[in-house]
Amino acid sequence: MPLFGQTCPSTTQFRNSSRTIDGRCNYSVDINQGDLSIGVSTLIIPEGDTLYIDGDFNIYDDVDIFGVVMVTNDVNVGSLLATAHVYVGPNGSFIVGGNYNNGGDGFLFLPLGPGDTDVDGHLQVAGEYNNNNTGTTNVSDTGTLESGTFNYNGGTVTIADGTAADCETGCCGDGCTPLPVVMLEFNAKEDNQNACLSWTTSKEWDNNFFDVQKMTTGDTWETIGIVAGKGTTDETTSYSITDFSFQEDSYYQITQVDFDGNSEVFGPIVLTKNSTQSNLEVYPNPTTGPIKILGSGYRSFTLSDIEGKVIRRETNRIGKEAEEIINSSLQDKHGTFVLTFNGNNSQIVKRILKQ
């Protein structure tokens, strides 16, 4: 079950509205995203958040992956009236246990029409990747596509510095240099006033260790612990570490280091202190200029106008960084606005009058 303040859509909400995943959302049924009608809904998985589907994932509109999506069965990308679109961002991971069907074969009586998959991050398919004749696949110079079998059944396949034939080797894009670690998830929670961090990898290559780092106020990361890696392994591996100095809202990130000294950064993610959530204040109010946020205890916020139209929505933003984003969004605006802050276990709403 999601914590209060997390956004885990119902199966109906996946179909009829745009949604943003917040935290880890688990489903043990097939999921249909969007529908086969005119109009587009977008599903966003932000960096640091995870969508887990134990079933099929049918995509009819837009899915933007900056965090992690794991699907145990098949993924079908295609829509009758508009092109369905999957985007895997530079730090995103899309892990598919079954087959990946990108677009249909172009006949109107079939349910799967145009499908478009753009990969700037990592797309891993255990079964077959099928690019059908209404499918478009683009793998950029930062992206990697791995599959058990790659079937070019028509459509368009564009690989930076390569061709579709490269995908038939099992890996294409980004020179197909193996990623040192495929990170499935990275989570933080408060337990007995300590910060408990956990992360899971699906593959590791020459992984020496993880440098776990923390930042509170300011812009300086400090190491709170070193965790040894598994070297090279294809097995799913889980790790954890506890921060016993967790006294205030904090950013956490992991720097993974190879045996040859190369490194890769995962995160940051935010953990907020439960005890501070009742002390949040926004001032001056009314205001003619920038506002200040006093207090903490939130990990995401939404800025809306008085009619409920969303102006800005951010996750994993706290302290001065959140304050700067809000003030930038309100810089040339006047009127009444609503700020909704979501913490680990609560929600705080503040109304602002900008004169």
Same domain (yes/no): 162, 298: no
Same domain (yes/no): 75, 155: yes
Nearest Cα residue to 71 out of 28, 36, 104? 28
What is the pLDDT, as a whole number, of residue 3? 38
Same domain (yes/no): 108, 84: yes
Same domain (yes/no): 280, 247: no
Q: Calculate ∠ Cα 168-264-122, nearest 5°.
A: 30
pLDDT digits (tens, 9 = 90+) for 61-114: 999 999 899 999 999 998 877 789 999 999 899 999 899 999 986 444 445 689
Is the pTM of the predicted complex or chain greater than 0.85?
no
Residue 94, CA atoms < 13 Å, CB-side half-sphere: 31
Range of the domain at 49: 11-176
Residue 2 maps to a domain: no
Same domain (yes/no): 196, 325: no
Mean of the pLDDT values across residues 280-291? 87
Same domain (yes/no): 20, 153: yes
- pLDDT at residue 170 above 90? no
Structure tokens at 206: 């020459």
Same domain (yes/no): 60, 160: yes
**CATH (domain of 217):** 2.60.40.10
Give the number of domains in the chain.
3
Task: Give the Cα separation of 342 and 309 in Å (integer).
Answer: 18
Same domain (yes/no): 168, 262: no
- pLDDT at residue 322 above 60? yes
- pLDDT at residue 265 above 70? yes
- pLDDT at residue 40 above 80? no
Q: Calculate ∠ Cα 338-51-319, nearest 5°.
A: 40
Residue that is last in its domain, among 176, 211, 243: 176
Residue that is last in its domain, among 271, 301, 329: 271
